Amino acid sequence: MPIPWPGSGNFCLVHVSLVPVLKAVGEQKTKPTQHSVRRLRGLGLTPNILACRCEKPLDVNVKEKLSQFCHVPVANIVTLHDVTNIWHIPLMLREQKTHEALLKLLNLQGYAREPMLQEWMGRAKLYDKLHDLVSIAMVGKYTGLSDSYLSVLKVNSYSTYKFMVFIPLLAGLICDHFAPTAHEAAWRLLKGDDGILVPGGFGDGGVEGKILAAKYAHENKVPYLGICLGMQIAVIEFARSVMNLKEANSMEFDPDTSTPVVIFMPEVSKTHMGGIMRLRSRRTFFQVADCKSAKLYGNVSFVDERRRH
């Protein structure tokens, strides 16, 4: 279905493109951006602003070359180079007057206000000065690829501003089938940290290793945060260690377990994964009036909470 053209002044296209550096000669290469803009034009779209992702600020001659071949004014070619933390990016855009270009392209100059960025600038500078170290071990299934837990990594990073500490996440997975040296290295990493985090996940891969990590945290009074699957791991470990339910397990990992402490949600398929999460607000009724959960909510009979599980 064709999309009607909104007209000049009602639409602004910002094209984000990579400007790599050829290591052998240290030259910033514009060809990837030229090709991507050409393909974009083939679809009937012409960028108003080029946001160039690069290691270092673009050289003046590189901007002029991009302007010549991509037909974008030099003033509308923005450098997004590497910085010490992401809080510097909006400040970088402001320094290059990107906001003024947007206002002009969208005919919004009359609504312009001077941005109040004092607090933002303070946070950007604060992050660069963090030096107190609190290390957290993340026990996950896909720790070899950081993008798998990107949201966890980012939230962890943002929390550093609140507590004035630098918190690196050291990822690893404890599995019995690892080679002895790798197994020992994973435990050494875990035991040397100040806290343990077990993020969400699906399937039974590495579950027993995660339970061992929760057990270590429990027995050694190490702070533990379980998110989604990580919380279920904590429930299983508590049932086994404290309640002496040695066969306690989740029905996801062992459908025939004699002691299911985590069960499938009624509406969830037991054979297909994907699209099975509970989303949005959902009402939960407390079956026991004097339980800790009910007391935390003010002794109410039910609670409505937003869910993504």
Looking at 3.30.2350.10, 3.40.50.300, 3.40.50.720, 3.40.50.880, the CATH number of the domain 130-272 comes to 3.40.50.880
From the list 12, 70, 228, 291, the catalytic residue is: 228
175 — pLDDT class (breaks 50, 70, 90)? low
Q: What mean pLDDT do residues 217-225 have? A: 94
Report whether 169 contacts 136 (CB < 8 A). yes
Report pLDDT for 289.
Answer: 83
Report pLDDT for 281.
Answer: 85
Q: What mean pLDDT do residues 248-255 have? A: 90
Rounded Cα–Cα distance for residues 95 and 180 (Å): 53
The 10s digit of each residue's pLDDT in 52-96 is: 999 999 999 999 999 999 999 999 999 999 998 888 999 999 999
228 as an active site residue: the answer is yes
CATH homologous superfamily for 14-126? P-loop containing nucleotide triphosphate hydrolases (3.40.50.300)
Q: Do domains 14-126 and 130-272 have the same CATH topology?
A: yes
- pLDDT for 177 beyond 60: no
- pLDDT for 308 beyond 70: no
Return the domain boundaries, the chain. Answer: 14-126, 130-272, 277-309
